[in-house]
Amino acid sequence: MNSSGRHISVWTASAFVVSSMIGTGVFTSLGFQLKDIQSVFPLMMLWIVGGIVALFGALTYSEIGSALPRSGGEYHLLSRIIHPSIGFAGGLVSATVGFSAPAVLAAMALGSYLTALFPELSPTLVGSVFIIMFHILHGKKLYWGTIFQDWTTAIKIGLILLFIIAGLLVSDVQPISVLPKPGDGNMILSSGFAVGLVWVSYAYTGWNSSVYIAGEMKEPEVDIPRSILLSTSFVMLLYVLLNFIFLYTTPLQELIGEVEVGYISGQHVFGYKGAKVIALGISFLLISTVSSYVYIGPRIMKTMGEDYKYLRLLSKTDDQGIPVYAFWVQLVICLLFILSSSFEQVLMYTGISLILTTTATVFSVFILRIKEPGLHRPYRTWGYPWTPIFFILVNLWILYYTFLEQTFESIVGMGIVILSFGLYYLGRNFK
């Protein structure tokens, strides 16, 4: 793509990173984490450890993404560095589970929050309508899509900051302490903590979003690391503060096993009527999340279509450079997800599959350094080799305990990756 086709600034890229990360996960995860962990210090450490892992992953992605700046994310990077089959599998997982599924999860959560306010609505119908609407918006007009992304992300951050500030001013609070107590150390090393990190990992999903649109960024060598690192650090701070407010204002028993933790906590922070306004705000926040995932996913399909003849249709673009057919394929995948799966199932499958692909991508930084030591690297991973090693080891630890505790979901998540390999070798017969 020539320079005239590069239209995304560092601010818009950062907006995509922030809006991709903040949304469904942070407003749904705590209720499920409380099933296994009911001590405040380990709960806070979940979000801190998860943030550090995401940040270390972002540091590594910044190096390989700025050295090899092309849209396509894991598909492009893994194909280029390791092998086309691994890149194909990573790309297929990213395009389907990685972006279509989170878009669906955000739409499902949006439907739940809106039906809490308007019981006559159907969560599935609401989610489907917004999925269709954003595919039309981003699949038709490039300008309005990016403008919407910038402004909704700004409003999203404002709403979260309002929630945090108001929560700190509440007088009727819970008697909690963020300091560690006896037994917390063992809890952090337990299988429950590891499984809880799957939910946190999903909440941080999106820290690598600007890598997927590198080919459309004005200055990818500079803007990729800036957008990823600043956005990830900022979101980690917001996540820790927001979850502290949930625990600080709301009795634990009200939150355990609940999806709509933001609405429940909002009743204690703003009162019953105020919570309804906040629920509308969270709904708007989730709208931005749906938008960002819908926008990015087809870019991966487009890049794969450029490289494989039997997928060539996905690379077709209109006069604005929008991959129209890829948007239609993603829309069909999203509707299949939203009409056939439960929220918990989709989230666990997604979390496991994405941990596998991001771990492989972070590992590829070692291979690239060995294979191409003279490659121009505008940015080098801070703390190398320890930062990528930490990322890989923590994720392997998560996968090990998740397989023990959530065997069926783990098999399905890994099965998605294995199926992607099979489709690659099957598709080679149609080249």
> With contact defined as beta carbons under 8 Å apart, do 231 and 18 qualify?
yes
d(CA 130, CA 109): 12
> With contact defined as beta carbons under 8 Å apart, do 107 and 131 qualify?
yes
Residue 1 has pLDDT above 60, yes or no: no
Give mean pLDDT, residues 273-286.
81
Give mean pLDDT, residues 203-221.
70
pLDDT tens, position by position, 376-409: 888 888 889 999 999 999 999 999 988 888 888 7
d(CA 73, CA 59): 15
Residue 269 has pLDDT above 60, yes or no: yes
Give mean pLDDT, residues 87-91.
84
Tokens of 320: 């604005």
AA identity, residue 377 = R
Mean pLDDT, the chain, rounded, equals 82
d(CA 384, CA 392): 13
Length of the chain: 431
Look up the CATH superfamily of 3-426. Amino acid/polyamine transporter I (1.20.1740.10)
Closest CA to 370 of 58, 56, 82: 82
Q: What pLDDT, on a 0 to 100 scale, did the predictor assign at position 317? A: 79
Q: Which residue has the higher pLDDT, 236 or 320?
A: 236
The tally of CA atoms less than 13 A away on the side-chain side of residue 22 is: 34
Q: What pLDDT, on a 0 to 100 scale, did the predictor assign at position 336? A: 83
Q: What pLDDT, on a 0 to 100 scale, did the predictor assign at position 248? A: 94
Low-confidence winner among 2-16, 84-98, 362-376 (lowest mean pLDDT):
2-16
Percent composition of the chain: helix, strand, coil (DSSP 3-state, to 5): 80, 0, 20
**Residue 182 DSSP class:** T
Closest CA to 290 of 66, 76, 105: 105
Tokens of 90: 């990573």
* Local confidence band at 150 (pLDDT 50, 70, 90 cut-offs): low
Q: Which residue has the higher pLDDT, 391 or 290?
A: 391
- Sequence spans of domains, the chain: 3-426
Q: Which residue has the higher pLDDT, 70 or 193?
A: 193
Tokens of 270: 């703003």
Q: What pLDDT, on a 0 to 100 scale, did the predictor assign at position 398? A: 92
Q: What pLDDT, on a 0 to 100 scale, did the predictor assign at position 178? A: 86
Residue 23 has pLDDT above 70, yes or no: no
Give mean pLDDT, residues 315-326.
79
- Contacts (Cβ under 8 Å, ≥6 apart) of 57: 207, 208, 358, 362, 391
**Residue 164 DSSP class:** H
The tally of CA atoms less than 13 A away on the side-chain side of residue 292 is: 35
* Local confidence band at 12 (pLDDT 50, 70, 90 cut-offs): confident
Low-confidence winner among 200-209, 213-222, 390-399, 412-421 (lowest mean pLDDT):
213-222
Residue 241 has pLDDT above 90, yes or no: yes
AA identity, residue 305 = G
Classify residue 317 as left (phi > 0), alpha (psi -120 to 50) or beta: beta
* Local confidence band at 2 (pLDDT 50, 70, 90 cut-offs): very low
Respond yes or no on whether the N-terminal peptide bond of residue 385 is cis (omega within 30° of 0): yes
- Whole-number Cα distances in Å, 131 to 165, 258, 420: 32, 24, 24
d(CA 70, CA 81): 13
Closest CA to 359 of 401, 390, 402, 382: 390
d(CA 72, CA 406): 30
pLDDT tens, position by position, 152-210: 667 778 888 888 999 999 888 898 888 888 888 898 988 889 988 988 888 887 777 66
d(CA 134, CA 290): 8
Give mean pLDDT, residues 260-289.
83
The tally of CA atoms less than 13 A away on the side-chain side of residue 93 is: 34
Closest CA to 131 of 345, 339, 342, 413: 339
pLDDT tens, position by position, 334-367: 888 888 767 777 777 778 888 888 999 999 999 9
> With contact defined as beta carbons under 8 Å apart, do 213 and 8 qualify?
yes
d(CA 317, CA 47): 40
Q: What pLDDT, on a 0 to 100 scale, did the predictor assign at position 144? A: 56
DSSP string, 121-145: S-HHHHHHHHHHHHHHHHHH-HHHH
